[in-house]
Structure 1
């Protein structure tokens, strides 16, 4: 199989490349990235998917592929929403156009659990949960918009096989610097100095899940080998409430209201202390927990990592400023 991966040098992309290059069924791996890493077992192509003319470069890169995995995404708008939309919306449209031109039969798109409408605190939603996203969150609404684009493509091109992978927060110690940069922006160089959050202000009802990038890569790989279609939730266990999150981040939970959390984020975002605007509070509080039954039963996937250990190891990697390819324990 010849597999092309957009965003192949990123957090999930790097884990997926490791998975793909270790499989005898995968003949060629083509990596699309804006900056080309020094790795010779991958055919790297330097392409900015949102740039004018990107469709032509992508079409050439997709030629002869059995599948395209679309991971490239501008996660945090920061203070430049236009740049985010250029990658997420224009870039995804360019990827789809190029894929259809090159007659690639299978598209695996990295979507998100953020496409789902709000659920009850402890309700785990399956892939048929309403898909309206979190209002006000550019990250969520871009994910919804691209899934809508894929819906249209499936109706107009019935031979095209489309799979959608829906995680929540994807982390790994090896990506500690990049994750710190996403969350802290220009303050990221302070991350190794701080290394912990002595106080974590969160509403008492806050609960979330994380997943190791390697577990997401394993699910994507299984989807590719099976030629699977449709949506697949993916997350590690257990779900974590605010006091547990605080302990894992090295501090103490301070109960606050949603309005207070949004206000804190808004003020510090306006002061440009970090790139996370107030909508990230809504994303945390309104994204429902995920049920991964379909991935388990249809593809034999199961999580290999404990979310708590992955989060703890990632925080320690940030503090040490020495990201590692391993650093958490695998669950037997």
Structure 2
């Protein structure tokens, strides 16, 4: 039997959840994000493909932000740009900032690339079908600041979004308001299905993965491919 494993994203999920969501949560995405809309369109194409090709085992992974040291340059290019210099990132890595302003209510999950690869292998070995959330533990603003040795200072999310809008319009940062909306509004993901059906358990915690990425950002790590070294 033929197989297709598509790398979708947490970005397909609609906002509004108050608890971690399973794969059955509405996958209508977020209209303000081009990335989210693109992922939703492709998932609808997959729905059609599955209907027309019942002999193909189609699976979709929906990972949160995938981290690894070698992705540092790619992630810096996509989200930070030149406004955040490497010395500032080194200060974060070394725990030299006593306070860290963060949008109130922010809650993030990360997943390491090694754990994503492990999930894909398990899907292929089992010829599993359907969608699978992939994420490690969720970190709130206090936990995000603590992993950097800082104290969180919650900032109104609307104020942060206004700053992102202005900075993006001025070409000071590459991160768009749509990406900010995905970070703030996407639900925390429940990974029970991957655990139960694939036997998948992330070996990397969100804290450990984030710290590896931060070390790569501070050190200017460049991945082995052209895409990761952009």
TM-score norm. by structure 2 comes to: 0.87
* Structure with greater Cα Rg: 1
Following TM superposition, by how much is the alpha carbon of 1:158 offset from its aligned partner in structure 2, in angstroms?
1.6
- From 138, 157, 178, the equivalent of 2:53 is 157
What residue is the counterpart of 1:306 in the other structure? 205
Q: Higher relative contact order at CA 8 Å, sep ≥6: structure 1 or structure 2?
A: 2
Following TM superposition, by how much is the alpha carbon of 1:315 offset from its aligned partner in structure 2, in angstroms?
0.7
Following TM superposition, by how much is the alpha carbon of 1:143 offset from its aligned partner in structure 2, in angstroms?
0.7
Give the alignment of 1:78-227 within 5 angstroms. Answer: 105-121=2-18, 123-185=19-81, 187=82, 191-195=85-89, 196=91, 198=97, 200-227=100-127
* Count of paired positions: 218
- Flag the 1:318–1:175 CA change in 2: closer, same or farther, 3 A: same
Distance in 2, Cα, partners of 1:175 & 1:284? 18
Verify the 8 A CA contact 1:211 1:235 in the aligned structure 2.
yes
Unpaired segments ≥5 residues, structure 1 = 1-65, 67-104, 326-332
Verify the 8 A CA contact 2:106 2:184 in the aligned structure 1.
yes
Distance in 1, Cα, partners of 2:11 & 2:135? 13
Aligned residue for 1:117, secondary structure, equals: coil
Following TM superposition, by how much is the alpha carbon of 1:138 offset from its aligned partner in structure 2, in angstroms?
0.8
TM-score norm. by structure 1 comes to: 0.61
Verify the 8 A CA contact 1:317 1:324 in the aligned structure 2.
no
Following TM superposition, by how much is the alpha carbon of 1:153 offset from its aligned partner in structure 2, in angstroms?
0.9
Aligned residue for 1:124, secondary structure, equals: coil
Unpaired segments ≥5 residues, structure 2 = 225-230
What residue is the counterpart of 1:316 in the other structure? 215
> Which contiguous aligned blocks of 4+ residues in structure 1 show a shift greater than 6 angstroms?
none
| Coordinate RMSD, CA, aligned | 2.1
Following TM superposition, by how much is the alpha carbon of 1:203 offset from its aligned partner in structure 2, in angstroms?
2.7
What residue is the counterpart of 2:166 in the other structure? 267
